[in-house]
Structure 1
Amino acid sequence: MNRGEVGEVMGAVDNHGLFFCGFHVAKNNPTFQVTTMHYCGMRGEGDQEMHQCLLYDSVSPGAKLLGVEYIVSDKVFRSLPKDEQKYWHPHTYEVLGGGLVAPVMSEQAELEFMEFLLTTWGKTWHTWPDPSTPVPLGEPLLMWSLTGDGQANADLVAQRDQQFGVSTAKVHKERIEAIGYEVPQVPLPESVATLGRQWTAEGEDSPTVRRTS
Structure 2
Amino acid sequence: MPRDGKPTRDKILKHSKDLVLERGFSGMSIDMIIQRSSISKGTFLYHFKTKNDLATSLMDEYIQQDEKERVKALKHVEGIKDPLERLLAFIQVFIDAFEKLDAPFPGCLYASYSYEPVLFDQEIMKGITDAFHRWEHTIDGMIIEIEQQYDSVIPIDKKALALHFTAIFEGAFIMSKALNDAKVTANQLKQYQNYIKLLFKKPNPQSKA
The answer to whether the superposition gives a TM-score over 0.5 is no
Q: Which structure is higher in helix share?
A: 2
After TM superposition, the score normalised by the length of structure 1 is 0.30
Q: Which structure is higher in strand share?
A: 1
Larger radius of gyration: 2
